[in-house]
Structure 1
Amino acid sequence: GSLTDMLSEREAEREERRANNQIWTAARDYSLHSEYHAYNGDGTADVYMNSIIGAAYQCCDFGKLKELFQSFTRTAKGPEYEELVWIALENYAYERSKAERPALPGLRRQYARELVDGAARQERDMEETERLKLGHYRRALGEGMALTEREKKMLDALELPPELTEAEVVERLRDFFSVYYSFVPTVTARGSRSWLRHIRLGRRRNTLGATVRSEDDEESSKGDKRVRGRMSGERTEPEMREYLEEFFGPSMYGTGDLHRIEERLCTGNHWDCMLHFTRGGVTAGKLKNREALVQRSAARRQAEANRKYYMDDVIRNRLTIARLAEKIRNCILVHLDDAMIKSRAGQLDARSVWRAVYLGDGRIFQKHERTTDTELSVDVLLDASASQLQRQESVAAQAYILAESLTRCGVPVRVFSFCSVGACTVVRIYRDYGEEKRNDAVFDYSAAGFNRDGLGLRAANYMLSDTPYEHRLLITLSDCSPNDVKKINPPGGRSAEYQGKAGVEDSAMEVEKLRRMGVRVMCVFTGEESELPNARRIYGRELVRIRHISQFADAVGAVIVQLIGSM
C-alpha cells in the first residue's frame, strides 16, 4: 500500500515533512529537494535511512546515480537492483559521514538491531537480495551470518569504502551488476522518467528495514516548489544553537556574551565558525531531536564503559596516581617559592600586633607555606573527536589519573574537551578549578564529530587568559590529526581544507601563541605512528607518547617536572 493508505492525508504530509527535515539536517542543505524518502512499514519517516539519504546527497553524484536507476526500468529485477544500490550507498554514506555526525553510529546500531531482530523468523525463505541486506546489517552489528561464497563476494563488493570518488562509486556499481547479474546498465531514451515513479527498496510484504522511495513526476514538481518555498536557506543560528544544546548540554553563556567571545576568537582561519561552551547536563524540557536522544544514550553507555575500564585495572591505576602525585609534589617543593602568610601560629609579626588588640584578629604570626593554590594551575584539554572513538576509555583513564594526581598535590585543575560539529567547535568542561570532588566527572568523556584543533586551542587560550594563577600549564591529550569538515575560508583569501598541513600549521601557530602568553604547553600523544611528525610540528619537544598506562607516571611526570622546573 501507499503511504496514504496507512496514514490519513494529514499524517502522511506530516511524515513527509519529517522525512525532509531529517534529510536536510544530514545534507546540511535546507534548499535541497530530495527525490528519495525513507519510511517504515507503518508509514512513519525513518530517521536513520533519511539521514543516510541526506548524507548520500552530500557525498554522491546523483546525476550519474539517476542514470543507473533509470536503466533498471528495463528489467523485471529492477526493484531488487535498486535495493542492492541502497545497501551500497548506505555503507558508503555512513563511512563518509560517521565522524562528523555524532549520532549516526547509534542510529545505525538501532536500525540494524531492529532489522535483524525482525528478520529472525523469515531467514530461511529469503531471496538473495534480502539475505545480502540482512548479512550487511549483521556485519554492522559485528555479528556473523552463514552466507554462500558468492554472497560473501557480493557483499564485499557492495560495501563500498569511503575513499572512493563519486565517479568510482557509479563505476563499482556498474561492474557489480555486470559481474553478478550479467546486466549492463545503460541509459534509456532521453526524457523517460518512469524509473522515478515508484523506486522502492524491496516492496514485498516482508521487506526488511525501511523503504526508500522516489516521487513520481507530478509529485516531484509540486513538492519541489512547496519545499523550496517553505525552507530555503541554511539552518538559522537559533536552530543550530538549540541543536547543540540538545546534543551537548546548555550553553554556559548568554547570547550576547557568546557573540562577544566569538567576535574575539572566530577570526582569521576560523572567521565563519561558531562556539558552544557547556558543562554538559540536560537542557530543560523534552528533547525534540531524536538524534540527541540516541547520542545521550550512547554517551551514558560510554561513561559506564570508561568507569569499567578504569576499575578493571584499579590497583595499577591507583599506584600510578600515587607515583605521579609524589613526583609533582616533590617538584613543587623544590621549585615553587615559599610565601609568608598570616597565621595564628609561627613567627610573631610585630607590625600586626595592633590587629589582636583592636580587632580581635589572632592572625599576628607569619609562617612559610607553599602557595600552589595561587601560583600553579593545570588545564587538561582532551581531543573529543571521532578519531578517538577506538580509545575513549584509555583517554578518560589518563585524564582521570592526571586530575586525581594534581588534586592530591593541591594544584587547581580544570579538565575540558573539544570537538566540532558542522561549523561549531564545542568546548565541554568536566571539572573546573576548585572542584576537587568532581574528578569522577572526567569519566563522562565521549568522542563525536571532527576536530578543529586550532580553534580548540584558541578557546583554551581564552579560558586561560582569565585565571588568577601565575604559572599555567596546559596538557593536551590528542592524536594530533586536525581534521574538520568546515573549510578554512579567510575573508578575501583562498579557501582550503582544514586537514593535513593546513590544519597542523594552524594548530602549531595556536600553541606558539599560548607559549608567548607564558603558558607551558605539553601533549600526551594518543595517536598512531603516522601522526607523530604532526605532533612534533605542533608541540615541539614537550611531547610524551604513552604505549602503555604503566609508563604514564614516569613519562608524563618527567615532562611536568621539567616544565615546572623552568617556571
Structure 2
Amino acid sequence: MKDAKWIYEDYEFDNRITNLMWTISGDYDENMDRGEKSFISENVALYHAVTAGGRRKFIDWTKVKKYVISRYRAGFDKDIVLGLISMGSDVVVEEKIIAERPGVYDIRKKAYDDIFANYYKLHTNNLMEKVEHAIILEKMGTSVMLDADTSRLKKALLALQHREDTVDFLKGIEAIYMDYFPLFVEADEDEKKDLRDKQNRLRGDFSDFMLEELYDDDPEESEIEASVEELADALLGESQGDMSNGSDGQSGTQILRVQEEDLEKIYEKVAYYYGSSFLPISEVKKLQNRVCQGEHGNCRIHMTDGVIRSDSRNEFQQKYVKRQQTKNVEVFRANFKICKRNVNKLKESMSRTLVQEEIMDAIPSDAGLLVANKLWRINRSSNHKVFVKNIDNNKGSFVVDILMDSSGSQRRNQSKVAIQSYIIAQALTLVGIPNRVLGFSSFLDYTVIKRFRDYESPLSANDNIFEYFCSGNNRDGLAIKATCEDLLKRREDNKILIVLSDGRPNDIKVGKGQVDDVREAYRGRVAIADTAREVRLARQLGIMVLGVFTGKEQDLMAEKLIYGKDFAYIKDINRFADLVIKYLKQIIAN
C-alpha cells in the first residue's frame, strides 16, 4: 500500500484512468468507484480502468444480482457462486475488449506481471484461490503443474470467453457450479433432497431467476444483500444515494424490462412464492382499479395469507418461512418477560385511553338540568350556575390496522419488527379492540400484502405474526393506500393505522418491452413524497396514522417527512409500551 498515495494524488493520472474507462464503456455518465482502482501499481490501475469499462458495457448487473439471489434461495453456496462470477466476468470482459481493442493485450500483460509479483502465497488448498492463480498464469503464458480439479475448473472458466450475453454467461456459471460443487447447506437429508430437486428443476427453466425479486442495494441490510453488493462494489463500483431523486444514471432508474410473455407468468410466480390470494380475482381487480393510479399506474396488488396458511405447492418456500418463524419465536422467548410486561402495560393503558367509557360527568353550567337545591344562589352569590350539564366521556369505538414493511431492507430487524407488532396486536386483542395485522413487500410490479390476522380473528391468530419474513422491495404509498381501503369501510368511530417501517420506500419500475415511461423510479424523494401524500390523504379521510420507525438514524429525516410529528422511534424495548401509548394519545388529541 506504500505506492497508493503517489498514484491517487496525481490528478492527471486519475483523470487518465477515468477517461480510459469511459472510452471502453462508451458511457460518459458513469463514474469509476474507488473500489475499482488498484493500489498495486500504475499498470494494474490502468488495466482495472479497462475492465471497469468492459463490465459496464458487456454485463447486465441487474440480471447478475437477480440470478445470485435466486440461486441463494435455491440452496446454492453464495460465496462459490460469487467467486465463479468474479473470475468468469474477467474472462468474458477481457477477451471481448481485446477483440475490439488489441492494444489492451499489452496493458493486460504488464498488469499481470505486477499482480503476479504481489502473490505471496501460491501454495494454497483452497480450490477457488488455486484456480484464480492458475488463470492468471495461463494468460501470462506460464505453464505450471496443476492438480486435476484445478486444471478442469480453470478450463471450464476460460471457456466462458465465448459466451455472447449476460444470460448465456450465467448459464455457463450455473453449469460449472452444478458440475464441480456439492450442496453446501446445513440441513437434514430430507431438506437436502428437496434442495437438490429444486436445483435440478432450475436447469429446465433457467429464465426463472428473471422473475425473482430485487433486494435493496445496501451492503449492511442482510447477509445475501451484503454479498451481492460486495461483488458489485468490487466489480462495478455502483453506489446509491437514499435521498437522490432517482434520475441520475442507469442504476438510479431501476427499470426492469420484461417481455410480454414473461409478464403473463408473473402472477403464477407471485402465488408460488407468497401464497394464493384470499380474495377472488374479481375483487382484486376492483381494488387495483381504485388504488393503482397515478404514481402506481403500472402496479398490481396481491392479497395473501402466506405460503403456510394458503394453498401453496412451494415446499421450499414453506420451509424457508418456517425457519424464519422459528428464529422469530426464539428471540421472543428469550425476551418473554419483557414482552409480557409490555403487553400488560399497553393493555392497561389502552383500556383507559381507547375503550368506551360508560361514566357521565355532571358539571355546573349556566344551562342544562336545573338543580333545585342550588336555587338559593340567585341574587345571593356570584356563582349563578344552578344547572348541570352531563359530559359524555364516551370516545366511541376503535379499530386498528398494523402494517409492517416486509422488504429486504428490514431483514436485519425481522425478529424485532415481528415482536413489536405482536405486542401491539396482543394488547389490542386482549382489550377487545378489533385489529388487523398486515405485511407488505414488492415482487416485480406486484405489491404483495400478507395478512397475519384479521379483525375478528381469535387471540391465537396473533402467533401468525411470527411468520414475518423480509424480501424484495417496498412501495409504501401503494400499500398504505390499499390498506386504508378496507379500514375506511369499518363501522367503528375511530380508525387508527400503525405503520412499522424504516423510512426507505424503494421499488423498481417494470417496463413492457422497450416502451418508455416518463415517471421517475419509485425511490428517494419521489417515493418519500408519494408515501407522505398517502399518509396525509388517509388523515384527511379521518384515519389516525402513526409511524413506528424501525430503521437507522440516518433515515430519520425521511420518516419525519412522511409522518410529521406522529411517529415513534423506539430504541429500548423496555419502553416500547410507554412510547406507543404516548404517541397514540398524541394522534388522538390532534
TM-score, length-scaled by structure 2: 0.55
1:175: how far off?
A: 7.3
Deviation sequence 1:489-521 (CA, Å, 0-9, x none): 9x9972211110001001000001100001110
| Paired positions, count | 373
After TM superposition, list the pairs within 5 Å mapping 1:486-565 onto structure 2.
Answer: 486=509, 494-565=518-589
Deviation sequence 1:42-82 (CA, Å, 0-9, x none): xxxxxxxxxxxxxxxxxxx9xxxxxxxxxxxxxxxxxxxxx
Q: Which amino acid aligns with 1:544?
A: A
Confirm or deny that 1:417 pairs with 2:443.
no
The separation in 2 between residues aligned to 1:543 and 1:293, in whole angstroms, is 38
1:158: how far off?
A: 6.0
Residue of structure 1 equivalent to 2:487: 464
1:266: how far off?
A: 0.7
- For the 8 Å contact 2:503–2:559, the answer to whether it is kept is yes
- For the 8 Å contact 1:331–1:565, the answer to whether it is kept is no
SS at match of 1:302: helix
- For the 8 Å contact 2:428–2:434, the answer to whether it is kept is yes
1:90: how far off?
A: 12
Which aligned runs of 4 or more in structure 1 are off by greater than 4 angstroms? 89-95, 154-160, 174-177, 182-185, 196-206, 281-286, 368-372
Two-structure CA RMSD over aligned residues (Å): 4.5
Confirm or deny that 1:323 pairs with 2:345.
yes
Confirm or deny that 1:426 pairs with 2:426.
no
Confirm or deny that 1:309 pairs with 2:335.
no
Cα gap change, 1:564/1:203 in structure 2, threshold over 3 Å: closer, same or farther? closer
The separation in 2 between residues aligned to 1:501 and 1:304, in whole angstroms, is 37
The separation in 2 between residues aligned to 1:479 and 1:205, in whole angstroms, is 38
SS at match of 2:423: helix
The separation in 1 between residues aligned to 2:176 and 2:448, in whole angstroms, is 42
1:325: how far off?
A: 1.5
Residue of structure 2 equivalent to 1:439: 462
TM-score, length-scaled by structure 1: 0.57
Q: Which amino acid aligns with 1:471?
A: N
Residue of structure 1 equivalent to 2:499: 476
The separation in 2 between residues aligned to 1:512 and 1:194, in whole angstroms, is 55
SS at match of 1:483: coil
Cα gap change, 1:203/1:398 in structure 2, threshold over 3 Å: closer, same or farther? closer
Residue of structure 2 equivalent to 1:393: 415
- For the 8 Å contact 1:332–1:564, the answer to whether it is kept is no
Q: Which amino acid aligns with 1:561?
A: K
Confirm or deny that 1:97 pairs with 2:66.
yes
- For the 8 Å contact 2:272–2:312, the answer to whether it is kept is no
1:337: how far off?
A: 5.5
Judge which range, 320-329 or 383-392, deviates more. Answer: 320-329
1:111: how far off?
A: 1.8
- For the 8 Å contact 2:344–2:427, the answer to whether it is kept is yes
SS at match of 1:480: coil
The separation in 2 between residues aligned to 1:204 and 1:376, in whole angstroms, is 56
The separation in 2 between residues aligned to 1:542 and 1:276, in whole angstroms, is 29
Q: Which amino acid aligns with 2:536?
A: E
Q: Which amino acid aligns with 1:322?
A: N
Residue of structure 2 equivalent to 1:298: 320
1:278: how far off?
A: 1.4
- For the 8 Å contact 2:303–2:448, the answer to whether it is kept is yes
Unaligned runs of 5+ in 1: 1-60, 62-84, 113-132, 141-153, 161-165, 186-192, 212-230, 341-367
1:475: how far off?
A: 0.6
The separation in 2 between residues aligned to 1:205 and 1:418, in whole angstroms, is 34
Cα gap change, 1:244/1:304 in structure 2, threshold over 3 Å: closer, same or farther? same
- For the 8 Å contact 2:422–2:462, the answer to whether it is kept is yes
SS at match of 2:438: strand
Confirm or deny that 1:235 pairs with 2:202.
no
SS at match of 1:467: coil
Residue of structure 1 equivalent to 2:76: 111
The separation in 1 between residues aligned to 2:60 and 2:517, in whole angstroms, is 36
After TM superposition, list the pairs within 5 Å mapping 1:326-405 onto structure 2.
Answer: 326-332=348-354, 336=356, 338=358, 375-405=397-427
Q: Which amino acid aligns with 1:414?
A: R
The separation in 2 between residues aligned to 1:175 and 1:270, in whole angstroms, is 48
Confirm or deny that 1:257 pairs with 2:283.
yes
Residue of structure 2 equivalent to 1:358: none
1:243: how far off?
A: 1.9
The separation in 2 between residues aligned to 1:245 and 1:457, in whole angstroms, is 21
The separation in 2 between residues aligned to 1:205 and 1:94, in whole angstroms, is 19
1:106: how far off?
A: 2.4
Q: Which amino acid aligns with 2:301?
A: L
Q: Which amino acid aligns with 2:66?
A: S
- For the 8 Å contact 1:328–1:561, the answer to whether it is kept is no
Residue of structure 2 equivalent to 1:195: 162
1:183: how far off?
A: 7.5
1:377: how far off?
A: 0.8
Residue of structure 2 equivalent to 1:273: 299
The separation in 2 between residues aligned to 1:509 and 1:157, in whole angstroms, is 43
The separation in 2 between residues aligned to 1:514 and 1:252, in whole angstroms, is 25
- For the 8 Å contact 1:384–1:448, the answer to whether it is kept is yes
1:381: how far off?
A: 0.4
Cα gap change, 1:155/1:529 in structure 2, threshold over 3 Å: closer, same or farther? farther
The separation in 1 between residues aligned to 2:85 and 2:574, in whole angstroms, is 40
1:328: how far off?
A: 1.7
Q: Which amino acid aligns with 1:111?
A: F
1:280: how far off?
A: 2.2
Identity %: 26
SS at match of 2:577: helix
The separation in 2 between residues aligned to 1:205 and 1:299, in whole angstroms, is 26
Residue of structure 1 equivalent to 2:125: none
SS at match of 1:235: helix
- For the 8 Å contact 1:504–1:537, the answer to whether it is kept is yes
Q: Which amino acid aligns with 2:326?
A: E
Confirm or deny that 1:207 pairs with 2:180.
yes
Cα gap change, 1:320/1:423 in structure 2, threshold over 3 Å: closer, same or farther? same
Q: Which amino acid aligns with 1:97?
A: K
Q: Which amino acid aligns with 2:480?
A: L
Q: Which amino acid aligns with 2:430?
A: R
The separation in 1 between residues aligned to 2:311 and 2:581, in whole angstroms, is 45
- For the 8 Å contact 2:354–2:398, the answer to whether it is kept is no
